[in-house]
Structure 1
Amino acid sequence: MTTRVWDYLPEYELEKADLLTAVETVFESGQLILGGSVGGFEEEFAAYHGVAHCAGVDNGTNAVTLGLQALGVGPGDEVITVSNTAAPTVVAIDNAGATPVFVDVRQEDFLMDTDQVVAAITPRTRALVPVHLFGQCVDMAPLERLAAEHGLVILEDCAQAHGARHHGRLAGSMGNAAAFSFYPTKVLGAYGDGGAVLTDDAEVDRSLRQLRYYGMDKVYYVVRTPGHNSRLDALQAEILRTKLRRLDTYIAGRQAAARRYAEGLGDLTGPGGLTLPAVADGNEHVYYVYVVRHPQRDQIMERLAQRYDIQLNISYPWPVHTMSGFAKLGYAAGSLPVTERLATEIFSLPMYPSLPGDVQDKVIGALREVMADL
């Protein structure tokens, strides 16, 4: 049987009764667009984070786009972020009409190198978008200082960091606003697409609710500013309400799987060996993905697939600044050396809270055998 990095079916079997009850709740409610399911999830998700407001949207990409627009970011503005991220982060900035500006990442934990941000700030800089990558948070203190000094706004990209903490603060509670994705693979995943934006600013929340509904304050009312059709689906909202109650359990399961990997692979580390995930100072890692690193990544993945039918992923093989769709930004090869080097060496091992122990042991054993042959 093929081993993959993610599988929702074990979780579905465990939670089927609750999930089907959630579906019935929506179908029997008489409200299939927004309504009580969406409002209830928004209240509960905001409360989990200790934040005043949550606006549900249709996906994580639009959470970033609408979040930036609600914060006043648009054409002519520059937004500082990283290229070592999923392309939707940068697509969303572009969709808001702003220009992405990249800084490199740290090679030890793959997170934004905050020391490089000050040099990237120009008179056009309007926002910072730190990406809490792979399940842990960017060091926020330097960004908060720079934002205060230069009059910038911070939108946290939390698509990969539900429940992660940085010096005790939850991802999503540290910026002016925070964007989340509920794509099925996420730490808190829906059974389809979904997203949300958190903020403590009532005016930003009002703008978000207007932007997600064509730019209207009320149904079929007056368009105040051209907006989007970007509402969180009621069915996904009710499923997310059910799963939110298990979020801490999901995180514990991921952390247990990470410890199992560390125990099974720890002796393969060292010069020329496998690099396991590093947890940055003050972080509580939730392991959205379990990303390891090796200079012979491609050979390892090929042998795992051919010999053991283990199909792994790379997050991410092509830095965004190297993609043809963003050639207009003018980043030459070598401009972000750490990001570019990581793209040739990193790969993800299977990771999800219901990952069976025997499957994980198969991956550990196969990886050890492949490494011994290198």
Structure 2
Amino acid sequence: MIKYLDLARINSRFRADIDRRIAQVLNSGQYLQGVENDNFCLNFARYCGVKYVLGVGNGLDALRIMLRAAGLGPGDEVIVPANTFIATILAITQCGCTPVPVEPNLTTYNIDPVYIERAITGRTKAIMAVHLYGQIAPMREIQELAQRYGLLVFEDSAQAHGAIYGGKRAGNLSHAGAFSFYPGKNLGALGDGGAITTNDENLYNRAHAMANYGALKKYEHYFKGCNSRLDELQAAVLDVKLKTLDRDNEKRRHIAHYYINNIKNELIINPQSYNEDAHVWHIYPVRVKKRALFQSHMQSCGIETLIHYPTPPHKQNAYKEWMQLSFPITEKIHNEVVSLPLHQELEKWEMDKIVEAANAFN
């Protein structure tokens, strides 16, 4: 069976360096807010091209703390793609803000600026750009809208580590960006982890305090904060893997292009990349109308597939107040999308087998 994602295989290449760094952390006796976190945040800031990086507990915390640190709260509307993973929506509502979901572009799966402009009201404070599946959202058009209407722009970069747009990396294309280091990400930890990227010193300082119980100094609490920190072990692992992120992303691009050039089945719609550097292929999503049959066919061929994501946020019970909303493009994507195996350790024979199986589907 070709696994959709083989984390043990992916991480085995880093085993010696990870073992060494973990031993250093254990021997140091400092497991939070130590040198490993400092080093990783500095290196990730350099990599992304931003002034500040704050390591936090996970990607949802990164989104939530980022919005709160920017001063958003009750009564503020945040425009967001309707087809994002629910964490993006959760972060907005958990800050007391109102998410305003809008349709994506059916070709790129990213938020469509045409629908953004239609959704702007006097209560709109920000646009949340989600770089879905690893492809940068149309940031030039989004920034033009933001400037025209006086809005903030944020990035959900949880799937786009290392992607480049207009000479800048994801996380450095807006007021602030949020990353997840969930193990399956292009830059993945061995557990949960996240980060906020920004060039805004005030936002960084506020976020830093909010993630530390709201304290600017020990026992001096200025905000109603939370406890969200990137621990030393995860920071050490991420720092090791950051060194090869660009090379790993290039391998992902190679595999994606191989699929695009060789999967030739009229029943399967391949994804498209509008710019090579702007897509790091966290996920390779094809669209198939007979999805269940396709997945069953691939399983019978010894290939595991997944669905990212079967149900859009506006059809989830958590947001049952949205159940009557209609987003036809979003619903079409969620009803048809299937993710094929794609990771940097995938071998040529596995790629060939996946292509052969996909082309044999009828």
Partner Cα distance (2:117, 2:41) in 1: 35
- Structure-2 residue corresponding to 1:224: 222
Deviations 1:16-37 (A, max 9, x none): 1011112112112231111111
Partner Cα distance (1:364, 1:282) in 2: 21
Partner Cα distance (1:341, 1:16) in 2: 41
- Structure-2 residue corresponding to 1:354: 345
CA contact (8 A) 2:49 2:168 kept: no
Q: Which stretches in structure 2 are left out of the alignment for 5+ residues?
A: none
How far apart are 1:331 and its partner, in Å?
5.1
1:146 alignment partner, SS class:
helix
Q: Structure 1 residue 157 and structure 2 residue 156: aligned?
A: yes
Partner Cα distance (1:318, 1:104) in 2: 15
Deviations 1:282-320 (A, max 9, x none): 753110011111212221112222x22322111111011
CA contact (8 A) 2:81 2:101 kept: yes
- Which residue of 329, 341, 355 corresponds with 1:338? 329
Partner Cα distance (1:137, 1:300) in 2: 28
Amino acid at match of 2:8: L
* TM-score, reference length from structure 2: 0.97
- Which residue of 315, 326, 350 corresponds with 1:322? 315
- Structure-2 residue corresponding to 1:274: 268
2:134 alignment partner, SS class:
coil
Partner Cα distance (1:103, 1:283) in 2: 26
Identity of aligned residues (%): 36
How far apart are 1:363 and its partner, in Å?
1.6
CA contact (8 A) 2:62 2:194 kept: yes
User: Higher mean Cα deviation, 278-287 or 311-320?
Assistant: 278-287
- Structure-1 residue corresponding to 2:83: 84
Task: Rate the CA distance shift 1:281–1:308 in 2: closer, same or farther, 3 A.
Answer: closer
Q: How does 1:296-311 map to 2 (within 5 A)?
A: 296-305=290-299, 307-311=300-304
- Structure-1 residue corresponding to 2:247: 249
Deviations 1:120-164 (A, max 9, x none): 111111111010010110111122122222222111000000011
How far apart are 1:78 and its partner, in Å?
1.0
Partner Cα distance (1:85, 1:252) in 2: 25
How far apart are 1:69 and its partner, in Å?
0.4
Q: Which stretches in structure 1 are left out of the alignment for 5+ residues?
A: none
Amino acid at match of 2:324: A
Task: Rate the CA distance shift 1:282–1:116 in 2: closer, same or farther, 3 A.
Answer: farther
Deviations 1:32-78 (A, max 9, x none): 11111111111110111111000000000110000000111111111
User: Higher mean Cα deviation, 291-300 or 157-166?
Assistant: 291-300
1:358 alignment partner, SS class:
helix
2:237 alignment partner, SS class:
helix
Moved over 3 A (4+): none
CA contact (8 A) 1:53 1:200 kept: yes
Q: How does 1:1-374 map to 2 (within 5 A)?
A: 2-219=1-218, 221-265=219-263, 267-268=264-265, 272-280=266-274, 284-305=278-299, 307-328=300-321, 330=322, 332-333=324-325, 335-369=326-360, 371=361, 374=362
Partner Cα distance (2:323, 2:97) in 1: 16
1:54 alignment partner, SS class:
strand
